[in-house]
A and B are shown apart, each in its own frame.
Chain A
Amino acid sequence: MKTARFSIYRYDPDKDAKPYMQDYEVELSPTDVKLLDVIVKLKAMDDTLSFRRSCREGICGSDAMNINGKNGLACVTNVADLKQPIELRPLPGLPVIRDLIVDMTQFFKQYHSIKPYVINDTPPPERERLQSPEDREELDGLYECILCACCSTSCPSFWWNPDKFVGPAGLLAAYRFIADTRDLATNERLDNLEDPYRLFRCHTIMNCVDVCPKGLNPTKAIGKIKDLMVKRAV
């Protein structure tokens, strides 16, 4: 592959009445491996093209976007694997600020709503709170979330009810704290989710699992919260 062709969603509210798709073509050099490498190159050609990026290694969660119809991180996506023209759009379901930059206020509001911190009001010991390796292992697959929002913005339930449904990222975080032996607020956390929308709008469509760039499984975590709800009710 010598060149890459793109069709990219453009919108600058300062000058555009409405969004449009813009075509680009760029020559690839051997160092242009990841999608992010190439759109950084595009930006050097057209500095108005706007997107977020930072670590370029899949750990900061900045450069989530919709790539050929599927959410992902540009920095860990191989450009050679993509069908051309490569269609780039902002993450679906959130207001667009400009081009590929979305307003993530709603996403973070839901994350904050699950109280994403260990709740334990017992006086802390002088040393660490002990936790067995097995108990610690319960957090694997949960704590690694990078808050990129690929999952929540691929979830139809989140599209319809972003203000009411916590969404896969927030619920994964909720279970991360429920599963932590150091956290003593499981009941309060379940109360917080016992609602027709906050948890139960998940219909196990599993788009979240399909798109998570870190290979996490929010649906499984949501299932575990539902199990706990059932157990508690019996």
Chain B
Amino acid sequence: MTIPVRRFDAVIVGGGGAGLRAALQLSESGLKTAVLSKVFPTRSHTVAAQGGISASLGNVQEDRWEWHMFDTVKGSDWLGDQDAIEFMCRKAPEAVIELEHFGMPFDRLENGKIYQRPFGGHTQNEGEAPVQRACAAADRTGHAMLHTLYQRNVRANTQFFIEWMALDLIRDEDGDVVGVTALEMETGEVYNFHAKGVLFATGGAGRIYAASTNAFINTGDGLGMSVRAGIPLEDMEFWQFHPTGVAGAGVLITEGVRGEGGILLNANGERFMERYAPNLKDLAPRDFVARSMEQEVLEGRGCGPNKDHVLLKLDHLGPDIIKQRLPGIREIAIKFAGVDPIKEPIPVIPTCHYMMGGIPTNYRGEVVIPKGDNPEARVNGFYAAGECACASVHGANRLGTNSLLDLVVFGKSAGDSMVEFIKNEMPTWKPLPANAGQISLDRIARLDNQTGGEEVADVRAAMQRTVQARAAVFRNSENLALGVKEIQEVAERVKRTQIKDKSKVFNTARVEALELENLIEVAVATLISADARKESRGAHAHADFQQRDDEVWMKHTLYYGEDRRLTYKPVHTKPLSVEYIAPKVRTF
């Protein structure tokens, strides 16, 4: 069966913050560009980001990008690549100013400049005191940013393929990326997109966990496609648990609440973060706060009848601040926790939120993999940006507000790299391999013909239970070893999933089955990578190896799907222009 071909200079997969920012670079360059998204772009999960986007604008207090860089390196627990971190923090002010010029409705200070609030781990002068670095549009910063970027793409006449799900990456015999196979959801038709360059901006995969702040669509599609195409995944053991998910519902409550002065209380009414982080208190980085909360619960000081959560108190901020700066979380608390935070505290628990790992890239957004002696050889024609990519700026733990920044800085950078590559190195298209798209057709045919298999929802739930139980905030050798065994058993079940819906038209059962094939790659990568790392660093807190071990473990994990093996590559210790920030003990 021949698959119809559509040909573009560049194809972007994903219409969230990173994909849309990259699309602007490509549209402006005049290259023929397609943006594929499985949802209408403003439904991408960037829309749910709340608290802010960081940049050392210094609108409220003195700030410097070097301080932002220090905080990000320390926040990453020295697993972040310092060249990429310098690049991001230096570019942050111009990236935010650009969003403002695009029309983003930031909150304002009395002098008309962009409003900035404090956020976890962001400090003045290398840890002295919290600094107001998070540029905010109330507590809807992601919504404001995503809509602004979409609107700017409307202006630029970007060509969108909406509700098209990318299925597989197409690599030729040289290993170069020459396109992507995609499913038009409305018709069920499969097409090959032939391209000189492909950018993945497919977002996160938090749905491998049973409780997650992530949207249903966060199924790691870019990661699944990469693994199936022989591209390794980097640092997949590092998953961020956001301290304040609504207990039971999983919905996010921004760290901006604590930035505005909210505090965490245990069952005794004690502001316990003062004990764990005497200096930054409730504004310590997320991994630190999440562990402290879990510790309180483990030691019996949890709240509620089951003593299983803590309370986020903000009524002392007063109704005016809450209504003006935090209207969205008030709405969420009322709808999902049944409490009005003007009067009552919000019950919260650490909830899976963000994937620090992903497709290995450099700060130019180029996908890089080991080849011979080179640990980071460029994969020609392949780019990644945003949560699906690992640049690595977040290392073992991301600071709040650095993700929105990551999207626009690396979306733009990857877009620029693609334009350069396509214009300078790719006068014409490399041919599609003869079997291009066959793997996708086989996957769909398997689903169409499968009988006697298991339901997608059941297998997905089994995967989520396993990851939730075995790769949580606190980990240990026994649990991880069990997790590795169990998740590989679930992976076998994924091969036999069955759907009853055989319709060609908008077949969401098929989409969910295909998504599960991506999720399971991420879940297996997570457990195998986590099981191997015998230290504690950032979000990987290992009970049997409680110290960070820079001697042995200051290195990035690379997971290969075909034989489920791991290799490692060094952390970039050489920034672009400044001095190396050497590892220190991480206290706050």
Contact = CB atoms under 8 A, between A and B. Distances in A.
Given A136-B108, A146-B42, A146-B143, A59 B151 contact: no
B101 A131 contact: no
B101 A124 contact: yes
A55 interface: yes
A44 B499 CA distance: 10
A89 B105 CA distance: 35
B147 interface: yes
Contacts of B584: none
B505 A97 contact: yes
B39 A54 contact: yes
B508 interface: yes
A12 B506 CA distance: 9
Contact of B335 (A58, A98, A132, A143): A58
Interface in A133-187: 133, 135-136, 139, 143-144, 146-147, 177, 180, 182-183
Interface string B485-523: 000000000000001110111111100100000000000
Contacts of B335: 58, 76
Given A54-B43, A54-B45, A54-B216, A117 B505 contact: no
A116 interface: yes
A110 interface: no
Contact of B217 (A54, A57, A112, A115): A54
B103 A144 contact: no
Interface in B122-179: 137, 140, 143-144, 147, 151-152, 154-155
B448 interface: no
A128 B113 contact: yes
Nearest to B512: A47
B12 interface: no
Given A48-B503, A98-B505, A131-B112, A55 B151 contact: no
B103 A12 contact: no
Contacts of A56: 215-216, 251
Contacts of B501: 47-48, 50
Contacts of B140: 59, 144
B42 A143 contact: no
Contacts of A131: 108, 112
B151 A57 contact: no
A44 B48 contact: no
Contacts of A228: none
A47 B100 contact: no
Interface in B450-488: 455-458
Q: Is the interface of A mostly helix, strand, loop or mixed?
A: loop
Contact of B456 (A31, A47, A98, A126): A47
Contacts of B152: 117
Given A127-B97, A128-B97, A144-B143, A104 B506 contact: no
B257 interface: no
Nearest to A11: B505
B113 to A, nearest CB: 6
Nearest to A136: B108
B251 A147 contact: no
A180 B505 CA distance: 41
Given A12-B505, A48-B501, A98-B503, A133 B110 contact: yes
Given A143-B105, A146-B42, A128 B100 contact: yes
Nearest to B501: A48
B2 to A, nearest CB: 23
A92 to B, nearest CB: 19
Nearest to A61: B43
Contacts of B426: none
Contacts of B105: 136, 139, 143, 180
Contacts of A58: 331-332, 335
Given A61-B42, A143-B144, A97 B506 contact: yes
Contact of A44 (B108, B147, B216, B457): B457
Contacts of A147: 40, 42
Nearest to B214: A55
B47 A60 contact: yes
B47 A59 contact: yes
A128 to B, nearest CB: 4
Interface in B239-264: 248-249, 251-252
Contacts of A112: 154
Nearest to B328: A59
A65 to B, nearest CB: 14
B114 interface: yes
A55 B42 contact: no
A133 B105 CA distance: 11
A32 to B, nearest CB: 12
Contacts of A118: 102-103, 151
Contacts of B499: 47
A160 to B, nearest CB: 25
B321 interface: no
A132 B505 contact: no
Given A104-B40, A118-B103, A55 B47 contact: yes
Given A104-B40, A129-B101, A31 B248 contact: yes
Interface string B15-45: 0000000000000000000000001101111
Contacts of A17: none
A14 B505 contact: yes
A57 B251 contact: yes
A12 B252 CA distance: 35
B336 interface: yes
B544 interface: no
Given A51-B508, A116-B154, A143-B144, 11 more contacts: A44-B458, A54-B43, A57-B336, A60-B47, A61-B42, A117-B151, A117-B154, A118-B151, A130-B108, A135-B108, A180-B105
Interface of B: 39-40, 42-45, 47-48, 97, 100-103, 105-114, 137, 140, 143-144, 147, 151-152, 154-155, 186, 215-217, 248-249, 251-252, 328, 331-332, 335-336, 455-458, 499-501, 503-509, 512
27 contacts: A47-B456, A48-B500, A48-B503, A52-B39, A54-B43, A57-B251, A57-B336, A59-B47, A59-B143, A62-B43, A97-B505, A112-B154, A124-B101, A128-B101, A128-B114, A129-B100, A129-B101, A130-B111, A130-B113, A132-B108, A132-B112, A133-B107, A133-B110, A143-B105, A143-B137, A180-B103, A180-B105
3 tightest Cβ-Cβ pairs between the two chains A and B: A130-B112, A118-B103, A47-B509
